[in-house]
Amino acid sequence: MSAENQAVYPSLSPIATGMRGRCPRCGEGPLFDGFLTLKPHCPACGLDFSFADSGDGPAVFIMMIVGFIVVGLALVVEFTFHPPLWVHALLWIPLVLVLSIGLLRPLKGLLIAQQYRHRAETGRLEDT
């Protein structure tokens, strides 16, 4: 076991670290290398990010959150103003793109921070 694994780190909020794209253990090092690609390890504390696999989690939450917001707004606009269809396309397509792309990275960071905090990982059989 290396010295860095023996260090004690305070428990950090997954929201504070994950949504800012920071390491879930130290809260300092960047989590991402690019837009959604993870760094292999934290440059600040050395935490190995190989445990991190958010899978389709961020996309599912984004579909639910953005869908709720956009469908709700589209219904309000439709029943209030009765605009032509091109107005709906002009309003909601850019909003869907901005919200979806804007939420991807914070939600992926949040799910990875939650995964780290709760030690969630793929199930496997114990060695005998």
Site residues (vs Zn ion, CB under 5 A): 23, 25-26, 29, 42, 44-45, 47
Q: How far is the CB of 122 from Zn ion (least distance, A)?
A: 22
* Residue 124: CB minimum distance to Zn ion, A: 25
**Closest distance of CB 23 from Zn ion, Å:** 3
Element (H, E) at 78: helix 57-81
Q: Would you say 39 or 88 has its CB closer to Zn ion?
A: 39
Q: 47 with 112: CB under 8 angstroms?
A: no
Residue 113: name the closest of 5, 32, 8 by CA.
32
* C-alpha span between 22 and 45 (Å, rounded): 11
Closest listed residue to residue 78, CA positions, set 89, 67, 68: 89
The single residue listed with the structure tokens 């269809």 is 85
CB of 121 to Zn ion, least distance (A): 18
User: Counting every residue, how long is the chain?
Assistant: 128
Beta carbon nearer to Zn ion, 14 or 103: 14
